[in-house]
Structure 1
Amino acid sequence: MSLPSLKQQFAALLAAPSISCTQADLDQSNLGVIHLLADWLGQLGFACDIQPIAGQPGKANLIATLGSGPGGLVLAGHTDTVPCNPERWSYEPFALTEADNRWYGLGSCDMKGFFPLIIEAVKDYADQPFQQPLIVLATADEESSMSGARALAASGQPKARHAVIGEPTGLRPIRVHKGIMMERIDIIGQAGHSSDPSLGRNAIEAMHVVISDLLELRSAWQKRWNNPLFSVPTPTMNLGCIHGGDNPNRICAKCALEFDIRPLPGMDGDELRAAIHARLAPIAAERQVQIDYQPLFPGVPAFETAADAPIVAACERLTGHSAGSVAFATEGPYLNQLGMQTLILGPGDIDQAHQPDEFLALDRIEPTVRILRGLIEQFCLQPTRP
């Protein structure tokens, strides 16, 4: 079986739905994408290892390796997409449509479209001796739980010295981004008739005190932490949604708050959560309510790779841009945990991600392939430097 063309690969990946979502009725398997990639990379001589995600039927990572050695390069991406609203699209989300010098489809930008560009870059080198391995990494559930990347970090593989994740950065290298934590606080008080406040314990009033303390904590963090690499140089806390009560004449018995925190590099998520816990205990005692505090998911750490890392220098040279920062989170921290020096660099634009009529501009294809070939030549075809 011959290898499909770049456009055919692109179309096939878009036609294999792989939505990941915290809502079970929208969540889908990513195995269709994984098996397509394993087939194509296998034809190029890669050894393909499909690794199921424990406890998640229908979810898997792919580690495809060409060559061997202690160094090498990982080119990584996630195989899942966010949900979409087909009625808001001008084109079919699960098909490739070419128009206006763009390829439209769900995942074209973020980020199934990166994989055919990797294959296009490597196919001319497949018969050359690799001095160091090239590893193509395809992960599950980046858009929901990061379970694929977390499973890799827990397993200790793959191993390499350098990594590039092809998230949409407009072909500008990114070496630092904030983390993300999503949290929930539930307060359980006591209902009662509103004519006599002593008959109940108002959960909304207790939440009012909690919010005041959270905002004080946010202010303290913002005075302590500052990173000028970011357009918003301080950590943020957003109070995203709140629910409580059922009638004006009833003392509210339950109130829930969900919020997110975007920590800077150097801020430890466990320490931030401990600081919140320390604030909640006195409020619960004073207000005689029960306060439960839990993360909505484990969270993604902030990410930073040293400015003088070889992968940073290489990508700056190949793109002509200095490495910068972004506000969104990626799988970069997990690859760094595996001992790699990781950079975020991809052909899409984040403004197109998670939007109707998502697209990849055709004029990004050739520059991306050129950059990837330069990375392969430097980190895989040349002997490793001591």
Structure 2
Amino acid sequence: MSELDHTLELLGDLVACPTVSSESNLACIDMLAERLEKAGARVEVFKDETGEKANLYASLGPDVKGGILLSGHSDVVPVEGQDWSSDPFAMTEANGRLHGRGTCDMKGFIAACVAMAPQLAAQASSRPLHFAFTHDEEVGCLGAKSLADQLKNRENLPSVAIIGEPTSMRVVEGHKGCCEYTTRFSGRSGHGSDPAAGVNAVEYASRYIARLMELRETLKARTPPASPFEPPWTTINTGALIGGHAHNVIPAQAEVQWEMRPVAEGDASFVRGELQRYINEMLLPEMQAIAPEAAIWTETVGETPGLMPMSEGEAAALACALTGSNGGALVPFNTEAGIFQQLGIDVIVCGPGSIEQAHKPDEYLEISQLQQCLAMLERLGPRLA
């Protein structure tokens, strides 16, 4: 079998593991661990506190500093509510495209790396090659943060990392951070015929959203003069407003799910501070004047750092040489790259598939993109000797 055939076979097996973030990824991780162990890798599996999720970290070659890390997340987004033409967890091929949940984001990259592991193991005589496959990237990069804690005190960390998110094999040097929050409102229920007798949590949540929208405009004025991103300012998005049960009932509970994508240091703390001031000075006093038990609190779902472009970085130079690219790009979406960058690793993002296909029904990865990824890994081998 060719390397492409091995990759396609493994990718089909990975897609068949329904590693939606709400479910376990252990079967997927066990499969990858077995493949890497057969290739001669030193494999470590780190389970989370529930025992249902795990990260994998594996190494080929000498146990020294300065290795190269290939990293991807094993979890995928849900398929509920999406109109798929075929079973999302059974990979199908049509017109040069591989359809299935996770083919693009980002099991295609993982399959290519692991399929190439035996060949790369034979070449990694001087410089180590590492693999990191994480859980729960789609819900706050939880696995990568946990893995970073496991690795941060190790002496022989890699010096370069390639995060294989779908970039159409372009080399990406930077992206914004991503901060996700859920703000909850607890008021007092009552009959809709007398609104003043209760505390309408949905209405207060709506006012909170209005304040988010005001701050979104304020952030445009804080745009750094040389911001390389598009859009160049920190953005805020309201993803969901949940609350209420019936037309004639004052809702006592509501929640707002929102996110912020910072570009400048201090923007995130500025937004959080302004929101807390608005709660303390405006919303809560009004709510508690009627219902002393009323409350507003915010849960931090995840705060993931951005990837800051590195001038003359080894990672970008290496990736450009491996792919034939002339330079790095910037993207608006967030990845785990910034977490590894905080470990002192020089990081870029480069992987097969288009982000335009990620998270959508009939998600697909073009076989030609997978071939380009395999070619990149083929060129990587001699650099490990």
Query: Fold match, TM over 0.5?
Result: yes
In the other structure, the counterpart of 2:16 is 15
* Structure 1 Cα separation of the partners of residues 82 and 233 of structure 2: 38
Read off the aligned partner of 2:304 and give its amino acid letter: V
Secondary structure, aligned partner of 1:112: helix
- Alignment partner, residue 102 of structure 1: 97
Gaps of 5+ in 2: 289-293
Shift of 1:117: 1.4
How far residue 198 of structure 1 moved from its aligned partner, in angstroms, is 5.8
1:177 equivalenced with 2:175 (yes/no): yes
Task: Tell me the equivalent position of 1:374.
Answer: 379
Q: Are 1:63 and 2:67 an aligned pair?
A: no
Q: Deviations over 1:61-117 (max 9, x none)?
A: 111101221101000011121122498322332223222112222211111111231
TM-score, normalised to structure 1's length? Answer: 0.85
Of 116, 121, 127, the residue aligned with 2:122 is 127
Contact 1:48-1:62 at 8 Å conserved across structures: yes
Distance 1:192 1:229, change over 3 A: same
Distance 1:285 1:100 in 2: 57
Aligned twin of 1:23: none
Partner of 1:6: 7
- Which one of the candidate residues 313, 318, 327 is aligned to 1:314? 318
Residues 231-246 of structure 1: pairs in structure 2 closer than 5 A: 231-244=230-243
Shift of 1:350: 0.8
**Correspondence 1:333 to 2:338:** yes
The alpha-carbon distance between structure 1 residues 205 and 118, as it changes in their structure 2 partners (threshold 3 A), is closer
CA drift at 1:200: 4.5
Q: 2:236–2:259: 8 Å Cα contact kept in structure 1?
A: yes
Maintained 8 Å contact 1:181/1:295: no
Determine helix, strand or coil for the equivalent of 1:50.
Answer: strand
CA distance in 2, matches of 1:38, 1:194: 58
Contact 2:202 2:243 in 1 (8 A): yes
Aligned 1:130-169 pairs, distance under 5 A: 130-157=125-152, 159-169=157-167
Aligned residues: 371
Contact 2:104 2:357 in 1 (8 A): yes
Q: Distance in 2 between matches of 1:64 and 1:130?
A: 16
Aligned counterpart for 1:75 among listed residues 70, 73, 97: 70
Q: CA deviation at 1:295?
A: 2.7
Q: State the Cα distance separating 1:291 from its structure 2 match.
A: 4.1
Please state whether the residue corresponding to 2:304 is helix, strand or coil: coil
Give the secondary structure class of the aligned counterpart of 2:107.
coil
2:183–2:257: 8 Å Cα contact kept in structure 1?
yes
Given that 1:169 and 1:348 are in contact with CA atoms closer than 8 Å, whether structure 2 keeps it comes out as yes
Offset of residue 160 of structure 1: 1.0
CA distance in 2, matches of 1:99, 1:211: 44
Give the Å deviation of 1:7: 2.4
Asked if the contact 2:236–2:261 (Cα under 8 Å) also holds between the matched residues in 1, the reply is yes
Change (3 A) 1:287 1:51: same
Identity %: 32
1: CA distance, partners of 2:116 / 2:308: 27
SS in 2 for 1:109: helix
Per the alignment, residue 291 of structure 2 pairs with none
**Unmatched segments (≥5 aa) in structure 1:** 21-26, 382-386
CA contact (8 A) 2:55 2:143 kept: yes
The alpha carbon displacement at 1:243 in A equals 4.2
Please give the alpha-carbon distance, in whole angstroms, between the structure 2 residues aligned to 1:315 and 1:326. 16
Contact 1:86 1:92 in 2 (8 A): no
Structure 1, 358-367 or 252-261: larger mean CA deviation:
252-261
Closer, same or farther: CA 186–318 of 1 in aligned 2, 3 Å: same
**1:277-296 mapped onto 2 (5 Å cutoff):** 277-284=276-283, 286-289=285-288, 290-296=294-300
Compute the displacement of 1:153 (Å): 1.8
Q: Give deviations 1:328-354, integer Å, cap 9, x for gaps.
A: 211112111222111110011111111
| 1:113 maps to amino acid | G
Superposition pairs of residues 351-366 of structure 1, within 5 angstroms: 351-366=356-371
8 Å CA contact 1:185, 1:291 repeated in 2 = no
CA distance in 2, matches of 1:247, 1:66: 59
In structure 2, relative to structure 1, the CA distance for the partners of 1:259 and 1:130 (3 Å cut) is same
Q: CA RMSD in A?
A: 2.8
Residue 312 and residue 202 in structure 1: after superposition, are their counterparts in 2 closer, same or farther (change >3 A)?
same
Query: Which of 24, 28, 34 in structure 2 is aligned with 1:29?
Result: 24
Q: In the aligned structure 2, how far is the partner of 1:194 from the partner of 1:11?
A: 54
What is the rounded CA distance, in whole Å, between the counterparts of 1:91 and 1:193 in structure 2? 47
Indicate the SS of the match to 2:13: helix
Do the aligned partners of 1:175 and 1:307 also contact (CA within 8 Å) in 2? no
Q: Distance in 1 between matches of 2:360 and 2:161?
A: 27
Q: 1:342 — aligned with what?
A: 347
Residue 207 of structure 1 deviates from its aligned partner by 4.3
Asked if structure 1 preserves the Cα contact closer than 8 Å seen for 2:284 and 2:295, the reply is: no
